[in-house]
Every structure is written in structure tokens, then in C-alpha cells.
């Protein structure tokens, strides 16, 4: 890898701070963290940016309701996000806040550049606006021409003199960009959705508000603030600045821009796949390489909502089952990009069958036999491939790699667990405990060595998903984690170890015993 192409810049959305983080934000951030950890494993120079989007009327109102100043409210909610990311073992490099001074300076600089380019003009706006979406709606998009289908709120009549961004000017350029970069929007079914919008014709949209005070002032016009989306998207750039750097766009973009992938929920696809690239084209900045819109979560097959009361509280889930269980479930159960469901029964089944039984038991049984019969030490044996899993291990690693590179996180885990299942089967068929009894010690040693070797590989490969458990496995196998970056060089059949000196086997994942109510 050359120095240039070993950079990987991934972002989560900047989460809106009108409320404390919910399970949907947690899911997105877990997925980003998993991808970032995988890239670090592969030796990339990774920048993972998350953060909060803190302006707009909704936030101003939330603050008022709590009898807080808007900034106090933002600080409080942002703290809640940071707290949850810590609990979920999210290893981000940058936390971008749109109320930071450096962000304000970047947004105003950007505004001025686009203004000078002739892409911002003043005009009257009249139309319908959903305050919850912070977005304009055409009558066609609304139920009965009035109600926002996402929020079930009546869209407001809106009339103001505003600054407009000349989005329509970029229609052809954007279509051309989609054609030349077929992977720009993923998964592919989302691309068709976006192409549909673009074909209807891009309309210029207002990027300022007279009525919103909680925002970044328009340069040289203090009566208006910048529209929250025009502001927030630039958080992906301003957040890259170190605190010591001069708040200039050219400084912000010099190391990691353009972004390798923006991971977002499908509800904010239009902003990222249409508005954002056109804004960047206007400012003559490179476009992100990829926008990936994942699906929504349901609970027991139903949409989650405060009104229905079927919300999953991420803190309760972590308290009850632990961080790795939560990370594992969502990444294992849901095809990344598609909608997915949470149910408690499914959750417990997944943890018990995949982590406690298939993986945990195999490790435990192998370690116990090594400790009991060979004083904890297994040398690399003279025999080879007694489990007949050498080829499968190698192909699993290759499959895992290509799935991860395509952001197919669930499929990557599927391939790992096929190897875990196959190893369990081969281990049971060989019955190493009987080989020991029958004094076929070489065969027994070979069986154990190869089982440990497969588990060693798995402990590295699962580390982006379940980092704590991975480390426990690693330690019990007697391996040192020398360097979290570039650990990939240790992946492979009989790659490093001439022998294993293992530790005592302790269950890495205790079974969850469901307490039946009545
Ligand atoms: Zn809405």
C-alpha cells in the first residue's frame, strides 16, 4: 500500500441532539466502529468521525422546554452520546460538534466561496415545511398534501425572503457523477431511489432562515441563520481540524478528505447523495467516495416509537447483556443495508447459540484438554491437516475479507461461524479425549493444535465486532496482542505460532438464562 491510498476516512451521521441517543443511532455507530476497526486491522490509517448536529428550531424548542439555554441543552445531550459510545466501546478518532467555533468559521468560509461562485442568491420562498424533518416538502410527498409521512405532523406553511442554493445548476453534473461512479451510492437499491429524485428535476432550495435564531449567522446578514442541513453536512469537514489548526477549509481537508464512506440511515439519503455532492462541486472540493444508506430497525416486527412505547433502551440492553452481546446481535442478525428486527428471544438465542455454545464451548473444551493432559503446552505437530480444515480456514479468511471490503458485515460473520461449526464437528468426530486415552497422543496433539490455530484466527477476525471477547480469547490462547493496527499480518493457517502455551479456560460468554415471568 502506498502512503496515499492507505488512508480510510469513515463517518457516522452527526446525530441530532433534540433527544438522547436511541438504539438506531447506536446501531449505526456500532457498524461504523466495526468497519473502522477492520480497516485498522488491515493496516489502514483510519479516521473515524462521529459527532452531533446541534442547530435548528427543534433544538431551540427542546431547550426551552427543559428551561435550558440552547448551548446547555446541546452540551448535555452531546455528553449523553459520548457516554453511550464509551459504553459501546466505540473507538472514534474525531468528534465533530456543529456548535464549535471552528465549525462556524468553516461554514461561513464555505458559504462565502459558494456565494462568490454565483451559486447563492436571494429570493422569496413559499412552500410547505416539516419542522421535524427540518426539510421542505412538496405536496406530492405529503399525505393528503398536508401531513409528513415520517412524522405524522402537519407541514407548516412557510413564506420568507431567503438565500437559495442553485442546486438545479448541478443536475447534469450529478447524474454524470453517478454514471462515472457506479458505487457512489450503496446499497444499489438506494441508488435507484436517488436517481428517481434527480430525474424529477433538482430544485434550488433555501439555505437560510429568518425565523430560526439558533444557528450560524449568514456572513454580512445577521438577520438570518444558515439552514441546519447546509451547516451540518460541513461538520464532516470541520470535524477533521485539530484544535491547534487555523480553522480553514484547506487545513481541514488536507489529511483525510475526501471521505471514503459516509454511513447514514436511509432517511437522510437525499441530503448526503444529492445536496452534499452538489454543495461540494460548487465549492470545487472533492466528493466523498461512497454514501451507504442502511435500513431501519423494528422491534418484534413493529416500528419503534415513543407513542407506541416499544422503544429499546440501549443502556438497559448493555446493562443486562454486556457491550459485546449488543454489538454482536445487530451486526450478526441484520444484513447491513436492509431493515432489521430486534426481538428479545432472538437476541438471547443468538448469544447463547453463537457465542456461549459454538464458539465459547469449543475454546473451553480445547483449553481444558490441553491444560489437563499437556501442561498447557502444545507444540506444532509433525502431522498436518488432521481436522481437514486447512482449505476451509484459508477460504473463510478470503471470504471474510471480501465481505468486509463490501461492507457485508453480517455475511462476514456468517462465513466465520460456518468455520466455527465445521471445527466443532471435526473436533467431535476426532474425539481427542479418546485419542489421549488410547495413547494416540500425536494425533490428539495435532487435533488440539489445529483447533487452537483456527480459534486464534477467529479471535483476530471477530475483533472488529466483539473487541472485548476477542481479547479474552486471545489471552486464553496465550497470544499477545502486539499491535492492534495491522494485526492482519498474523492471520492465516499456521501463520505465526510454533507452539501454544495456553491459560486456564474460562467461559468467554456465559449462557443467558431467561427468567420466565410466571
Ligand atoms: Zn417530517
Distance 127 CA to ligand 1 centre (A): 14
pLDDT for the residue numbered 497: 67
Distance 197 CA to ligand 1 centre (A): 17
Distance 150 CA to ligand 1 centre (A): 5
Strand order in the sheet with 221-226: 208-209, 221-226, 217-218
Cis peptide before 174 (omega within 30 of 0): no
Distance 233 CA to ligand 1 centre (A): 19
Q: What is the pLDDT along the chain (518 residues), one digit of tens a residue?
A: 444 579 999 999 999 998 999 999 999 999 999 999 999 999 999 999 999 999 998 899 999 999 999 999 999 999 999 999 999 999 999 999 999 999 999 999 999 999 999 999 999 988 888 888 878 888 888 988 899 988 888 998 888 899 999 999 999 999 999 999 999 999 999 999 999 999 999 999 999 998 889 999 999 998 999 999 999 999 999 999 998 999 999 999 999 999 999 999 999 999 999 999 999 999 999 999 999 999 999 999 988 877 677 889 999 999 999 999 999 999 999 999 999 999 999 999 999 999 999 999 999 999 999 999 999 999 988 888 999 999 999 999 999 999 999 999 999 999 999 999 999 999 999 999 999 999 999 999 999 999 999 999 999 999 999 999 999 999 999 987 756 777 898 999 988 767 999 999 999 998 998 765 44
Q: Please, which residues have CB within 8 angstroms of residue 517's CB and are 6 or more apart in sequence?
A: none
Distance 196 CA to ligand 1 centre (A): 20
Distance 269 CA to ligand 1 centre (A): 14
User: Residue 2 and residue 249: Cα distance in Å, rounded?
Assistant: 25
pLDDT for the residue numbered 25: 96
Distance 142 CA to ligand 1 centre (A): 9
Distance 154 CA to ligand 1 centre (A): 9
Distance 129 CA to ligand 1 centre (A): 8
pLDDT for the residue numbered 389: 97
pTM listed for this prediction: 0.94
Which residues are near ligand 1, the ion (C-beta closer than 5 Å)? 130, 132-133, 148, 150-151
pLDDT for the residue numbered 4: 56
Query: In 10 A of CB 492, how many CB atoms?
Result: 14
The cell numbers describing 7, all together, are: 488512508
Indicate the SS3 state at residue 494: coil
The cell numbers describing 356, all together, are: 456461549
pLDDT for the residue numbered 311: 87
Distance 383 CA to ligand 1 centre (A): 65
Cα dihedral angle (324, 407, 461, 513), rounded to 10 degrees? 30
User: Residue 346 and residue 419: Cα distance in Å, rounded?
Assistant: 22
Distance 287 CA to ligand 1 centre (A): 27
pLDDT for the residue numbered 382: 84
Distance 111 CA to ligand 1 centre (A): 26
Distance 148 CA to ligand 1 centre (A): 5
Distance 407 CA to ligand 1 centre (A): 29
Distance 257 CA to ligand 1 centre (A): 31
Strand partners, 53: 16
Q: Domain 347-501 classified CATH 3.40.50.1820?
A: no
Q: What share of the chain is helix, strand, coil (3-state, %, to 5)?
A: 50, 15, 35
Distance 151 CA to ligand 1 centre (A): 4
Distance 14 CA to ligand 1 centre (A): 18
What's phi and psi for 150, nearest 5 deg?
Answer: -80, -45
User: Residue 510 and residue 356: Cα distance in Å, rounded?
Assistant: 6
Q: Please, which residues have CB within 8 angstroms of residue 17's CB and are 6 or more apart in sequence?
A: 52, 53, 54, 59, 73, 74, 77, 78, 81
User: Residue 466 and residue 89: Cα distance in Å, rounded?
Assistant: 9
Domain positions in the chain are 347-501
Distance 77 CA to ligand 1 centre (A): 21
Amino acid at each position: 500500500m502506498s502512503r496515499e491510498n492507505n488512508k480510510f476516512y469513515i463517518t457516522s451521521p452527526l446525530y441530532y441532539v433534540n433527544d438522547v441517543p436511541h438504539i438506531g443511532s447506536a446501531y449505526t455507530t456500532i457498524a461504523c466502529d466495526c468497519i473502522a476497526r477492520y480497516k485498522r486491522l488491515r493496516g489502514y490509517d483510519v479516521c473515524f468521525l462521529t459527532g452531533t448536529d446541534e442547530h435548528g428550531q427543534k433544538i431551540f424548542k427542546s431547550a426551552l422546554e427543559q428551561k435550558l439555554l440552547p448551548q446547555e441543552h446541546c452540551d448535555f445531550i452531546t455528553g449523553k452520546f459520548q457516554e453511550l459510545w464509551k459504553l459501546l466501546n466505540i473507538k472514534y478518532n474525531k468528534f465533530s460538534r456543529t456548535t464549535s467555533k471552528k465549525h462556524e468559521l468553516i461554514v461561513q468560509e464555505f458559504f462565502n466561496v459558494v456565494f462568490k461562485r454565483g451559486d447563492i442568491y436571494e429570493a422569496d420562498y413559499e412552500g410547505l415545511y416539516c419542522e421535524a424533518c427540518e426539510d421542505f416538502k412538496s405536496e406530492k410527498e405529503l399525505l393528503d398534501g398536508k401531513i409528513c409521512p415520517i412524522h405524522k405532523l402537519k407541514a407548516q406553511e412557510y413564506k420568507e425572503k431567503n438565500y437559495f442554493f442553485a442546486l438545479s445548476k448541478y443536475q447534469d453534473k450529478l447524474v454524470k457523477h453517478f454514471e462515472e461512479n457506479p458505487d457512489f451510492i450503496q446499497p444499489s437499491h438506494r441508488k435507484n431511489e436517488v436517481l428517481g429524485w434527480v430525474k424529477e428535476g433538482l430544485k434550488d432550495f433555501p439555505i437560510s432562515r429568518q425565523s430560526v435564531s439558533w444557528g450560524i449567522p449568514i456572513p454580512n446578514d445577521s438577520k438570518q441563520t444558515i439552514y441546519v442541513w447546509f451547516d451540518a453536512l460541513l461538520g464532516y469537514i470541520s470535524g477533521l481540524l485539530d484544535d491547534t489548526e487555523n480553522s480553514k477549509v484547506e487545513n481541514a481537508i488536507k489529511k483525510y478528505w475526501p471521505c471514503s464512506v459516509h454511513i447514514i440511515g436511509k432517511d437522510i439519503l437525499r441530503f448526503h447523495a444529492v445536496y452534499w455532492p452538489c454543495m461540494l462541486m460548487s465549492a470545487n472540493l472533492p466528493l466523498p467516495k461512497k454514501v451507504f444508506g442502511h435500513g431501519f430497525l423494528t422491534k418484534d416486527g413493529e416500528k419503534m416509537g415513543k407513542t407506541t412505547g416499544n422503544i429499546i433502551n440501549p443502556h438497559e440492553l448493555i446493562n443486562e447483556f454486556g457491550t459485546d452481546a449488543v454489538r454482536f446481535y445487530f451486526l450478526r442478525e441484520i444484513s447491513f443495508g436492509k431493515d432489521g428486527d430486534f426481538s428479545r428471544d432472538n437476541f438471547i438465542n443468538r448469544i447463547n447459540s453463537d457465542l456461549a455454545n459454538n464458539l465459547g464451548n469449543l475454546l473451553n473444551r480445547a483449553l481444558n484438554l490441553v491444560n489437563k493432559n499437556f501442561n498447557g503446552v502444545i507444540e506444532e505437530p509433525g502431522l498436518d491437516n488432521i481436522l481437514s480444515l486447512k482449505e476451509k480456514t484459508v477460504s473463510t479468511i478470503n471470504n471474510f475479507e471480501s465481505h468486509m471490503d463490501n461492507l457485508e458485515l453480517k455475511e462476514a460473520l456468517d462465513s466465520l461461524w460456518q468455520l466455527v461449526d465445521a471445527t466443532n464437528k471435526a473436533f467431535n468426530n476426532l474425539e481427542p479425549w479418546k485419542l489421549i486415552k488410547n495413547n494416540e497422543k500425536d494425533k490428539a496433539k495435532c487435533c488440539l493444535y489445529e483447533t487452537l490455530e483456527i480459534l486464534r484466527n477467529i479471535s483476530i477476525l471477530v475483533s472488529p465486532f466483539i473487541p472485548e471477547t476477542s481479547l479474552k480469547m486471545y489471552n486464553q490462547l496465550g497470544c499477545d496482542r502486539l499491535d492492534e493496527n495491522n494485526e492482519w499480518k498474523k492471520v492465516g493457517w499456521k501463520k505465526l505460532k510454533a507452539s501454544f502455551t495456553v491459560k486456564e479456560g474460562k467461559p468467554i460468554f456465559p449462557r443467558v438464562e431467561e427468567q420466565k415471568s410466571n
